[in-house]
């Protein structure tokens, strides 16, 4: 009964933290050490301390408080002896933090409070999911309250203010006002990039479009090409050019250089006119139509298909639908950081529960848009020190304009989604995990069964991916080609969700892992895996070549008589900005 009471209290506390007004009030506080006070023998923010204390067994709480008082006493003694405290946090590595004992103490006290709060979270008697949500909410508060985020407690910002005779603050205020106009924090010098000029520059043409996407065909860079073309399906929650940033790190250009006729779907950035589009629309009018056009233009019965992130979920669903209709349009399937089994949805799970999904369904489930800025804010909140507070400190406090960075420019180029489509995806994939269950979903008039997909599959996961954990990406091995895992090839790359995928072969950076494929779980696979230096792209290139269907002369023109080119790549859909 007591544990259940604690879980109920935790659920109520989470509801309170989900209230935007609660966060606004919290973020008005100057910093964690300034509004700290002793609460039951521990210095910490009163709202957090009191709420968390209700969820912890009294004996455990007493021990935590005793440990805190001991550590705070040791810190105070260090301060009194004029010795700088040891600080291991990159936010406080600068000389200005160490040169002044008051600022050093302030930073050390903040870190002590942060560790104490997280120790309290770890002691909460609740289910794993509730504890994860509590940890996320508390970590957000801790990161927001860092002394480095406020001019009055940041000695580096104060030093720069004096050295520049106030110019740094003037520039910082200007950057803040500009960001207020945008409605988001700038992470890159956005004046340095233009889509089609210095990002998304691989030469090609739009050969088809409907209300949901434009299909781009790219110009060959080799005299001969593989007979079977490659269709790329990027995520619809981002612009496609993450796969075609610049020539040196373009996955699109790499595929073209390997001798593939590449088609790519450029999803529309929907406005109110598409506010009632659903998941079925995105499947039927999306990759199913793109496959038809690519096959018609090349005269091939089959293509090789690739899906990245949500694009992998979409193309896999489409292939299951087509299989149910008796069609077999692909020779191979590549899935990059894709979830088909949502048992472990990574850190995004903090945003997924019945209450939050129902709230979205009530507001936009039948008509309306999921704003792209909400996606940007949500993903930034997963790494707030790197993607939020770092830019507050450098930009607003020090007046330093963010440098040009193509990946972060892309990250800020938001994309809306139709409400019905987004809500369907949230409920049926993230919340209820229905996609993995054969026949549980009906899409475009057909029962979905991923087990029908019986073509060779190249499945990629990134080792440090916090959005699609690599073990969750591996789960697709046992959903596609069931009973024949030897037809699937799993490759694990270093780094995270984006940097792991966009790892050009020409740079020869990082490493990847391969192993003989067979039945078993992810950890068993990892135990038998061999690490290889460089980019996983070369492994993928071999897989595509094996399924290329032989070679033929490169096409001399885009499209055909029925599907004539209408405009040069990157097309106009990718240039549309989210309102």
**Token pair for 42:** 């521990």
Closest CA to 199 of 412, 374, 373: 412
Closest CA to 573 of 335, 309, 234, 69: 234
- Residue 113 CA, distance from chain mean position: 29
309 catalytic per annotation: yes
224 close to 552: Cβ distance less than 8 angstroms = yes
CA atoms of 312 and 318, how far apart (whole Å) = 10
492 close to 458: Cβ distance less than 8 angstroms = no
**Token pair for 239:** 């612009």
Half-sphere exposure of 91 (CA within 13 A, CB side): 25
**Token pair for 462:** 């990134």
Give the DSSP per-residue string, 87-137: ---GGG-SHHHHHSHHHHHHHHHHHHHHHHHHHHHHH--S-HHHHHHHHHH
CA atoms of 490 and 515, how far apart (whole Å) = 8
Out of 233, 293, 305, 309, the active site residue is 309
Other C-beta atoms closer than 10 Å to the C-beta of 203 total 12
CA atoms of 559 and 204, how far apart (whole Å) = 11
248 close to 535: Cβ distance less than 8 angstroms = no
* DSSP assignment letter at 40: T
- b/e for 549-565, b at 16 or more Cβ within 10 A? beebeebeebbeeebeb
Q: Which residues are catalytic?
A: 309
């Amino acid at each position: 009964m007591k544990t259940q009471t604690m879980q109920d209290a935790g659920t109520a506390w989470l509801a309170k933290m989900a209230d935007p007004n609660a966060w606004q009030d919290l973020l008005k506080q100057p910093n964690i050490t300034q509004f700290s006070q002793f609460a039951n023998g521990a210095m910490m923010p009163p709202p957090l301390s009191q709420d968390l204390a209700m969820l912890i067994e009294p004996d455990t709480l007493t021990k935590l408080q005793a440990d805190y008082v001991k550590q705070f006493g040791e810190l105070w003694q260090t301060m009194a002896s004029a010795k700088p405290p040891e600080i291991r946090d990159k936010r406080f590595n600068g000389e200005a933090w160490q040169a002044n004992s008051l600022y050093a103490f302030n930073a050390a006290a903040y870190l002590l409070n942060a560790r104490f709060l997280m120790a309290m979270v770890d002691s909460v008697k609740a289910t794993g999911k509730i504890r994860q949500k509590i940890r996320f909410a508390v970590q957000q508060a801790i990161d927001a309250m860092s002394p480095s985020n406020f001019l009055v407690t940041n000695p580096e910002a104060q030093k720069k203010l004096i050295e520049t005779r106030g110019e740094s603050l003037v520039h910082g205020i200007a950057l803040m006002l500009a960001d207020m106009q945008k409605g988001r924090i700038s992470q890159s010098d956005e004046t340095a990039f233009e889509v089609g000029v210095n990002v998304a520059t691989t030469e090609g043409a739009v050969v088809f479009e409907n209300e949901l996407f434009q299909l781009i065909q790219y110009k060959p860079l080799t005299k001969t090409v593989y007979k079977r073309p490659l269709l790329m399906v990027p995520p619809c929650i981002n612009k496609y050019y993450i796969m075609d940033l610049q020539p040196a790190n373009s996955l699109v250009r790499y595929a073209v250089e390997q001798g593939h006729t590449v088609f790519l779907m450029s999803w529309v950035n929907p406005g109110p006119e598409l506010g009632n589009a659903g998941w079925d629309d995105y499947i039927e009018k999306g990759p199913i139509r793109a496959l038809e056009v690519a096959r018609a233009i090349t005269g091939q019965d089959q293509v090789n298909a690739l899906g990245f992130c949500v694009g992998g979920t979409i193309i896999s669903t489409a292939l299951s639908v087509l299989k149910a209709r008796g069609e077999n349009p692909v020779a191979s399937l590549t899935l990059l950081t894709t979830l088909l089994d949502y048992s472990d949805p990574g850190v995004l799970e903090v945003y997924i529960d019945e209450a939050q999904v129902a709230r979205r369904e009530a507001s936009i489930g039948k008509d309306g848009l999921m704003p792209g800025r909400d996606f940007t804010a949500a993903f930034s909140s997963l790494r707030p020190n790197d993607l939020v507070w770092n830019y507050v400190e450098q930009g607003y406090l020090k007046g330093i304009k963010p440098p040009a960075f193509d990946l972060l420019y892309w990250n800020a180029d938001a994309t809306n989604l139709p409400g019905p489509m987004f809500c369907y995806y949230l409920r049926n994939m993230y919340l209820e995990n229905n996609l993995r269950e054969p026949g549980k979903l009906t899409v475009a008039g057909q029962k979905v069964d991923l087990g029908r997909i019986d073509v060779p599959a190249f499945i990629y996961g990134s080792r440090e991916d916090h959005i699609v954990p690599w073990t969750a990406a591996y789960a697709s091995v046992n959903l596609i080609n069931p009973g024949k895992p030897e037809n699937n090839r799993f490759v694990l790359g270093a780094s995270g969700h984006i940097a792991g995928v966009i790892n050009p072969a020409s740079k020869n950076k990082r490493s990847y892992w391969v192993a003989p494929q067979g039945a078993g779980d992810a950890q068993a696979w990892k135990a038998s895996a061999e690490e290889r230096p460089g980019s996983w792209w070369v492994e993928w290139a071999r897989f595509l070549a094996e399924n290329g269907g032989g070679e033929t002369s490169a096409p001399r023109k885009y499209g055909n008589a029925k599907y004539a080119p209408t405009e040069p790549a990157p097309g106009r859909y990718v240039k549309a900005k989210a309102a």
